[in-house]
Amino acid sequence: MPAAKQNVRSLTLDHIKDWTAARGFEEYRASQIAGWLYNRPLTDIAEMHNLPADVRGALEEDFDAHSAKISTLSTSEDGTRKFLTELADSKVVESVLIPREERITLCISSQVGCAMDCDFCATATLGLARNLEAGEIVSQVMLARDVAQPEPLTNYVFMGMGEPLANYDRLMRSIDIMTARWGLGISPRRITVSTVGLVPQMKRLARETSVNIALSLSAARDDLRDRLMPINKKYPLAELIGACELLEIPKRKRITIEYVMLDGVNDTARDVEDLVGLCRRLRVKVNLIPFNSFPGSDFRSTPWDRIEEFQEALLSHNIHATVRKSRGQDIQAACGQLAAAST
């Protein structure tokens, strides 16, 4: 069987230069190709009109040139927009555009489904269908930029479907393309990768990039976290927090700790105490996320007044804490509600 072709939007400028050299095309064609691939709305190769036909033909021959498409777009009462990106094999992933004050944040998917199996997350019910290619991640960002037009996107968070660090190499490639001058030209400070806590990959991410890191904690005791987030059995809290203490993160930056508020499960006085104990060891800001329900889940969100009490308790210990206002719930676009039919 011939090897599957690489997605054309997974190529860095260096890869394109290697390719033009190998194919015997002039080197300046490489920048032209990168320009077409990354500096404009998604364009089919046939429409890259300043490239000669033989270059276009060769690109189509050597790479998977299928352009991802938006299949559905829904808009929430609060302005949040969710769209489905349809991939070459007809699988779909969800992306969410969240406008707030001067910002527009894009919530990006990194996998079709997810294997992490967190008890409180809708995507977990899908299981993992497959990893996204770097080019599919990049295409999602380009499609979102089009949707947001004429407003520019300001923040990019890998908090959509999937565990980004379980798709490490492709994630890194997509970040390279997103942040390159010849690519999408996004500052790494505007990008956040959120993880359940895959320790080896977190260390690599901190070493190899300067993107922001968010850790989904949601429990500060092993017995509870084992139940809510099975990954805790592999990387228990002592190891996870120990690794976070040693992460190579610039002094002015903090790790974001995400904590989903589950009524009667992880929101008691004892939970605050345990969370304070862990946070004291790190430079963090805690983001409390009201639980968003989805069909088949028995959890309920902690009521608003008790979320505020929880926040106050953290603040009283000098721990930076905010509450994430839920967005896009009416279109199932809020945190943990992403579960597109993926077949």
Q: Which residues bind ligand SAH (CB under 6 A)?
A: 116, 120-121, 159, 163, 194-196, 216, 218, 258, 260, 289, 291-292, 335-336
Task: Give the contacts of 292 (CB within 8 A, at least 6 positions apart).
Answer: 301, 326, 329, 334, 335, 336, 337
Q: Quick one: DSSP state of residue 88?
A: T
Q: How far is the CB of 323 from ligand SAH (least distance, A)?
A: 12
Instruction: Find the length of the chain.
Output: 343
Instruction: Please pick, among 60, 94, 244, 273, the residue that the annotation labels catalytic.
Output: 94
Least Cβ distance, residue 204 to ligand SAH (angstroms): 16
Q: Which is nearer to ligand SAH, 128 or 272 (CB)?
A: 128
Which tokens go with 61? Answer: 């021959």
In the complex, residue closest to ligand SAH by CB: 336
Q: How many Cα neighbours within 13 Å face the side chain of 231?
A: 23
Q: Which of 178, 96, 102, 190 is nearest to 142 (CA)?
A: 178
- Residue with tokens 């798709």, as numbered in its chain: 167
Least Å distance, CB 127 to ligand SAH, is: 14
Contacts of 20 (CB under 8 A, 6+ apart): 26, 27, 29, 30, 33
> What minimum distance in Å lies between the beta carbon of 205 and ligand SAH?
13
In the bound state with ligand SAH, the residue whose beta carbon lies nearer, of 29 and 81, is 81
Q: Which is nearer to ligand SAH, 33 or 175 (CB)?
A: 175
Closest CA to 138 of 84, 168, 175: 175
**Beta carbon of residue 36, minimum distance to ligand SAH (angstroms, whole number):** 31
* 335 is an active site residue: yes
Q: Cα separation of 191 and 307, whole Å?
A: 27
How is residue 258 written in tokens? 């995400």
CB 310 within 8 A of CB 288: yes
State the Cα angle at 128 between 99 and 211, rounded to 5°.
45
Residue closer to ligand SAH, measured from CB, 45 or 335: 335
Q: Which is nearer to ligand SAH, 113 or 336 (CB)?
A: 336
Give the three-class secondary structure for 52: coil
Q: Has 151 been annotated as catalytic?
A: no
How big is the CA angle at 15 (ends 11 and 16), to the nearest 5 degrees? Answer: 80
Distance in Å, CB of 263 to ligand SAH, minimum: 12
Nearer of residues 48 and 321 to ligand SAH, judged by Cβ: 321
Given 114, 121, 279, 335, the catalytic residue: 335
Residues that are catalytic: 94, 335
